[in-house]
């Protein structure tokens, strides 16, 4: 199976975050990776238990690069890790 | 402009406190996201791709300079220094924090603004002709009736949980600049047999997945009956509109499925029961609101200004800006100045906080402190003396707001698309940027003349692609952005839905395809025929052949 | 479930039943519309009967019954399905019903004002409901912009009443 991770938006400021082994992070590379349906379901259940902190968790498919970094397969999700393509001074890409 | 009285002010302040309470109950866990979502949407707060987005209402597109300065301040203090003007004459901020939103709303309330009902399945901001009160072809100022509708529709207890969103547009002019035939309800001010002003009522128009032109429901509605008739129209929709499928829940589907006649009969039957009830507006209230829209103190001027004519003669750039951006005013010696938010290569509808502040200053200096937002995502100074246009133009140039391209191919309507929107299936803004750059040459742009090009990043059609002379719809095709082209759409009094010309184009081919369409038009047009004129005369064939060959 | 009525959380004394035998037992009963329509001659003799209306029900079906029914239950399948708001107003304003109109379904405190304004006077709520939250919402707005099934005077009249009374006094 393709690799999956869980993403959501943070309740307080709406920014994109990813479920990690022990919480949430704005950095996709820190995401907890699932390699099976069951593992994805377990991660999603953990994410949904955080409904007081995050909004709308869902799974996305990623590819792992040789250096260990994670890249979303879908362009929409890649945009979420960066920011608007037309304003590279905004969002995570600006940092 | 309408000025709040104590009742209006109280309500807007109380709404801020209500939302503050709702936000804290969401954060404390008393409200679930499922419960909170419809509440935040009814205060204009979306969750988008990267962050929250706050849509602030600009009632019927009218802003004072004070309000514009407040928007600039909000952009600066709570957001990232800019805002995006929308096709519903509103403004969106793309990076607000949930916790700060009540403070933003409190600041807006200080200048009689709010985000009430800018989203959600309720009656949205009523839109109007952006030239209202200034247009030379106007029967009466539609803002009077828009304000009456705004109040009636605000916190309407019966119509806050409709099957779907509900949009009303009003025009008082011969030329329809408010696109009333693609609205859930379209209202046209007309003169009755005895010369009194009343309304022609249309219903069931809309874009989205199933674009439809509205049907005429009534030829003439007496002015005093406006609210009872709207209430009857909404009640029939609330009770009988579909709720089993959100894509079939708009009133256009109800009107289409039962037929305009059956819908009309149901409305008229409902109306018969309530028309003489409490909704009949007192004459004093109509007068009170009409007074709020008393024209400003215009000077008595000559129709033609020699200084203005001389400036146009001396300065070609100014003459070009006047030709494309300035419209006739109903008062001699005045003009309507459109400010394009579409610089070549820019993001359609975006303005920086500095630009907002500058435009507010120009409004104070040259337009009685009044501003408008057009549904084409531009700004308007509605009342400028012809003699002041040159100074205005120079000033606009100093803040890069002097693009002379209103109504041309450079004046592209585009939704935020996948760069911001969580519903989008493709990006819209980069396509708009590439097209406006490709046609940046002003000689060529003005030779092409009047043509509307609208881009939506998904089937929901916020970019109004169906009613662009040229429409572009971005879709996702196996993970790639792909663009379908429609030709022949119109949003004015001759409203029509564009037709798909053929197979779509990849993102690296769409700009060439648009250029091919334009070159084809230039090669076959007669005299000064517009793009839509040529298309209506010849049909799609020459364009199809140029795009796809004659096979 | 408890009942929020007249600003207080009270015990619900009505029982929802789905057959005639149970409906004829002593005490207040709430019956489905179909049962009422099938057995209304029998049920009319009973003093405390309420009818549960689906939110797409034709209100004319009860045209001759509104003065014989003690309560009407309006159905909210979800908090965002607002058909029953229209039903409530019509039942109050067109049919002149003056018994209890109660809301059943997952409506929330933030909708209480709208319910009250449309003529709903009782809401079925969980026993642990924060009543203060509901009451705060009911009192929140100092003015209304439109007439409804309550007696609040819309702003467009209130403004001129004030002016007229100021002139008169």
Q: Residues with Cβ < 8 Å from B316, sequence gap 6 or more?
A: none
Tell me if A11 and B48 make a contact (CB, 8 A cut-off). no
Q: Which residues of chain B lie closer than 8 angstroms to C130, CB-CB? A: 30
Q: Which residue of A has its CA nearest to B434?
A: A86
CA distance B512 to B519: 10
Is residue A79 very low, low, confident or very high in pLDDT (cuts 50, 70, 90)? very high
Of B487, B494, B493, the closest CA to residue B466 belongs to B487
CA distance B312 to B306: 10
Place of tokens 């429609």: B486
- Go through the domains of chain B in sequence order and give each one's CATH number: 6-110 (3.90.480.20), 134-290 (3.30.413.10), 306-398 (3.90.480.20), 413-548 (3.30.413.10)
CA distance B104 to B54: 9
Whether residue C157 lies within 8 A of chain B, CB to CB, comes out as yes
pLDDT digits (tens, 9 = 90+) for B390-416: 999 999 999 999 999 999 999 999 999
- Tell me the Cα Rg of chain B: 23
Place of tokens 């379908």: B484
Of B116, B61, B54, the closest CA to residue B88 belongs to B61
The length of chain C, given as a count of residues: 169
Structural tokens at position C8: 């207080």
Distance (Å) from the alpha carbon of B248 to chain A's nearest alpha carbon: 25
Looking at residue B551, its pLDDT comes to 57
Strand A70-72 relative to strand A54-64: parallel, antiparallel, unpaired? antiparallel
Structural tokens at position B125: 């901001």
| Structural domain span for residue C100 | 2-143
Q: Where are the alpha helices (DSSP H) in B213-352?
A: 226-240, 251-258, 260-274, 283-292, 306-314, 316-325
CB B61 within 8 A of CB B374: yes
Is residue A6 very low, low, confident or very high in pLDDT (cuts 50, 70, 90)? very high
Distance (Å) from the alpha carbon of B367 to chain C's nearest alpha carbon: 30
Residues B420, B423, B427: CA angle, nearest 5 degrees: 50
The answer on pLDDT for A1 being more than 90 is: no
CB B402 within 8 A of CB A60: no
Residue C8 has φ and ψ, to the nearest 5°, of -135, 155
Q: Is C27 left (phi over 0), alpha (psi -120 to 50) or beta?
A: left
Q: How many CB atoms lie within 10 A of CB A10?
A: 18
**Distances, alpha carbon A53 to alpha carbons A17, A56, B28, B323, in Å:** 11, 10, 10, 54
Do chains A and B meet with 3 or more Cβ pairs nearer than 8 Å?
Answer: yes
Whether residue A14 lies within 8 A of chain B, CB to CB, comes out as yes
Tell me if C86 and B158 make a contact (CB, 8 A cut-off). yes
The CATH number of the domain where C83 resides is what? 3.20.20.70
Distance (Å) from the alpha carbon of B466 to chain A's nearest alpha carbon: 24
The answer on pLDDT for C169 being more than 80 is: no
Whether residue B287 lies within 8 A of chain C, CB to CB, comes out as no
CB C126 within 8 A of CB C1: yes
Looking at residue C164, its pLDDT comes to 62
The DSSP code for B525 is -
CA distance B206 to B212: 5
Q: Residues with Cβ < 8 Å from B230, sequence gap 6 or more?
A: B149, B152, B168, B185
Looking at residue B303, its pLDDT comes to 87
Of B344, B318, B359, B458, the closest CA to residue B412 belongs to B344
Angle between helices B353-366 and B389-398 (to 10 degrees): 170
Of B186, B123, B192, B204, the closest CA to residue B492 belongs to B186
Whether residue C85 lies within 8 A of chain B, CB to CB, comes out as yes
Tally of domains in chain C: 1
Q: Which residues of chain C lie closer than 8 angstroms to B227, CB-CB? A: 146
Tell me if A14 and B99 make a contact (CB, 8 A cut-off). no
Looking at residue A90, its pLDDT comes to 98
Looking at residue C128, its pLDDT comes to 93
pLDDT tens for the 551 residues of chain B, in order: 999 999 999 999 999 999 999 999 999 999 999 999 999 999 999 999 999 999 999 999 999 999 999 999 999 999 999 999 999 899 999 999 999 999 999 999 999 999 999 999 999 999 999 999 999 999 999 999 999 999 999 999 999 999 999 999 999 999 999 999 999 999 999 999 999 999 999 999 999 999 999 999 999 999 999 999 999 999 999 999 999 999 999 999 999 999 999 999 999 999 999 999 999 999 999 999 999 999 999 999 998 889 999 999 999 999 999 999 999 999 999 999 999 999 999 999 999 999 999 999 999 999 999 999 999 999 999 999 999 999 999 999 999 999 999 999 999 999 999 999 999 999 999 999 999 999 999 999 999 999 999 999 999 999 999 999 999 999 999 999 999 999 999 999 999 999 999 999 999 999 999 999 999 999 999 999 999 999 999 999 999 999 999 75
CB A56 within 8 A of CB A9: yes
Q: Which residues of chain A lie closer than 8 angstroms to B346, CB-CB? A: none
CA distance C46 to C29: 10
Among the partner-chain residues B151, B239, B277, the one whose CB lies closest to the CB of C86 is B239
**Distances, alpha carbon B121 to alpha carbons B158, C28, C142, C145, in Å:** 12, 37, 24, 19
Residue C85 lies inside a defined structural domain of this protein: yes
Among the partner-chain residues B95, B347, B418, the one whose CB lies closest to the CB of A76 is B418
Tell me if A85 and B47 make a contact (CB, 8 A cut-off). no
Structural tokens at position B154: 């605000």
**3-class secondary structure, B422:** coil
Mutation target vs B (from A76, A78, A95; most B CBs, 10 A cutoff): A76
Among the partner-chain residues C81, C130, C160, the one whose CB lies closest to the CB of B161 is C81
Looking at residue C46, its pLDDT comes to 85
Among the partner-chain residues A15, A51, A56, the one whose CB lies closest to the CB of B51 is A15
Q: Which residues of chain B lie closer than 8 angstroms to A7, CB-CB? A: none
Structural tokens at position B231: 């209430």
Q: How many CB pairs lie under 8 A apart between chains B and C?
A: 111
Tell me if B159 and C82 make a contact (CB, 8 A cut-off). yes
CB C46 within 8 A of CB C24: yes
Q: Residues with Cβ < 8 Å from B246, sequence gap 6 or more?
A: B164
Tell me if B47 and A14 make a contact (CB, 8 A cut-off). yes
Looking at residue C166, its pLDDT comes to 61
pLDDT digits (tens, 9 = 90+) for B355-398: 999 999 999 999 999 999 999 999 999 999 999 999 999 999 99
Mutation target vs A (from B49, B92, B101, B346; most A CBs, 10 A cutoff): B49
Looking at residue C162, its pLDDT comes to 64
Place of tokens 């197979």: B503
Whether residue A11 lies within 8 A of chain B, CB to CB, comes out as yes
pLDDT digits (tens, 9 = 90+) for C57-106: 999 999 999 999 999 999 999 999 999 999 999 999 999 999 999 999 99
Among the partner-chain residues A13, A14, A51, the one whose CB lies closest to the CB of B33 is A51
Sign, CA torsion B311/B317/B320/B325: negative
């Amino acid at each position: 199976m393709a690799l999956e991770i869980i993403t959501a938006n943070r309740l307080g400021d709406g920014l994109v975050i990813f479920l990690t082994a022990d919480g949430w992070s704005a950095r996709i590379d820190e995401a907890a990776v699932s390699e099976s349906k069951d593992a994805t379901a377990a991660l999603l259940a953990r994410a949904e238990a955080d409904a007081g902190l995050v909004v709308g968790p869902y799974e996305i498919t990623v590819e792992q690069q040789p250096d260990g970094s994670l890249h979303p397969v879908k362009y929409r999700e890649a945009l979420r890790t960066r920011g608007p393509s037309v304003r590279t001074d905004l969002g995570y890409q600006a940092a | 402009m309408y000025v709040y009285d104590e009742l209006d002010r109280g309500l807007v302040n109380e709404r801020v406190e209500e939302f503050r309470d709702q936000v804290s109950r969401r954060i404390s866990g008393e409200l679930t996201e499922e419960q909170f979502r419809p509440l935040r949407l009814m205060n204009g707060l979306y969750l988008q791709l990267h962050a929250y987005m706050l849509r602030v209402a600009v009632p019927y597109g009218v802003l004072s300079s004070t309000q514009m300065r407040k928007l600039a301040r909000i952009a600066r203090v709570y957001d990232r220094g800019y805002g995006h003007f929308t096709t519903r004459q509103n403004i969106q901020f793309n990076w607000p924090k949930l916790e700060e939103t009540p403070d933003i709303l409190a600041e807006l309330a200080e200048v009689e603004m709010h985000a009430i009902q800018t989203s959600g399945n309720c009656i949205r901001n009523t839109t109007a002709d952006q030239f209202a009160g200034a247009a030379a072809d106007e029967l009466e100022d539609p803002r009077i009736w828009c304000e009456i509708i705004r109040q009636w529709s605000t916190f309407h207890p019966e119509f806050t949980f409709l099957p779907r969103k509900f949009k009303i547009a009003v025009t008082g002019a011969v030329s329809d600049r408010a696109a009333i035939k693609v609205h859930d309800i379209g209202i046209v001010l007309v003169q009755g047999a005895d010369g009194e002003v009343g309304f022609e009522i249309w219903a069931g128009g809309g874009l989205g997945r199933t674009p439809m032109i509205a049907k005429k429901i009534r030829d003439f509605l007496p002015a005093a009956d406006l609210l009872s008739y709207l209430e009857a129209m909404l009640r029939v929709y609330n009770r009988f509109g579909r709720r089993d499928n959100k894509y079939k829940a708009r009133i256009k589907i109800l009107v289409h499925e039962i037929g305009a006649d059956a819908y009309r009969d149901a409305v008229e039957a409902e109306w018969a029961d309530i028309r003489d009830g409490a909704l009949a507006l007192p004459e004093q209230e109509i007068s009170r609101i009409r007074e709020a829209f008393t024209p400003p103190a215009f000077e008595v001027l000559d129709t033609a200004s020699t200084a203005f004519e001389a400036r146009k003669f001396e300065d070609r750039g100014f003459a070009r800006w006047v030709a494309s951006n300035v419209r006739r005013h109903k008062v001699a010696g005045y003009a309507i100045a459109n400010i394009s938010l579409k610089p070549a290569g820019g993001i359609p509808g975006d303005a920086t906080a500095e630009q907002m502040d500058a435009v507010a200053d120009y409004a104070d200096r040259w337009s009685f402190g009044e501003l408008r937002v057009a549904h084409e995502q531009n700004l308007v100074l509605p009342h400028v003396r012809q003699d002041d246009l040159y100074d205005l133009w120079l000033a606009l140039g100093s803040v890069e707001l002097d693009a002379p391209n209103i109504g041309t191919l450079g004046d592209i309507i585009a939704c935020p698309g996948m760069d911001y929107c969580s519903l989008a299936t493709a990006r819209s803004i980069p396509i708009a940027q590439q097209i406006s750059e490709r046609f940046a040459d002003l000689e060529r742009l003005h030779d092409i003349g009047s043509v509307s090009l609208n881009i939506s990043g998904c089937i929901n059609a916020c970019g109004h692609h169906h009613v662009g002379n040229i429409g572009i719809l971005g879709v996702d095709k196996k993970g790639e952005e792909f663009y379908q082209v429609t030709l022949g759409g119109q949003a004015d009094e001759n409203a029509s839905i564009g037709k798909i010309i053929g197979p779509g184009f990849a993102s690296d081919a769409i700009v060439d395809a648009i250029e091919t369409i334009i070159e084809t038009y230039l090669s076959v047009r007669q005299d000064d025929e517009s793009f839509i004129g040529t298309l209506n005369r010849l049909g799609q064939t020459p364009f199809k052949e140029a795009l796809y060959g004659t096979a | 479930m408890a009942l929020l009525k007249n600003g207080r959380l009270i015990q619900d004394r009505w029982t929802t039943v789905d057959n005639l035998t149970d409906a004829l037992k002593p005490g207040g009963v709430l019956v489905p519309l179909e049962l009422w329509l099938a057995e209304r001659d029998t049920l009319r003799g009973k003093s405390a009967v309420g009818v549960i209306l689906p939110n797409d029900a034709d209100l004319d079906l009860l045209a001759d019954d509104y003065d014989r029914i003690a309560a009407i239950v309006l159905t909210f399948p979800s908090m965002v399905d607002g058909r029953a708001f229209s039903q409530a107003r019509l039942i109050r304003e067109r049919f002149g019903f003056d018994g209890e109109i109660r809301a059943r379904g997952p409506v929330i405190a933030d909708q209480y004002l709208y319910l009250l304004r449309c003529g709903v006077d009782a809401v079925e709520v969980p026993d642990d409901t924060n009543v203060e939250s509901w009451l705060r919402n009911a009192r929140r707005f100092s003015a209304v912009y439109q007439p409804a099934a309550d007696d609040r005077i819309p702003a467009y009249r209130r403004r001129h009443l004030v002016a007229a009374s100021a002139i008169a006094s």
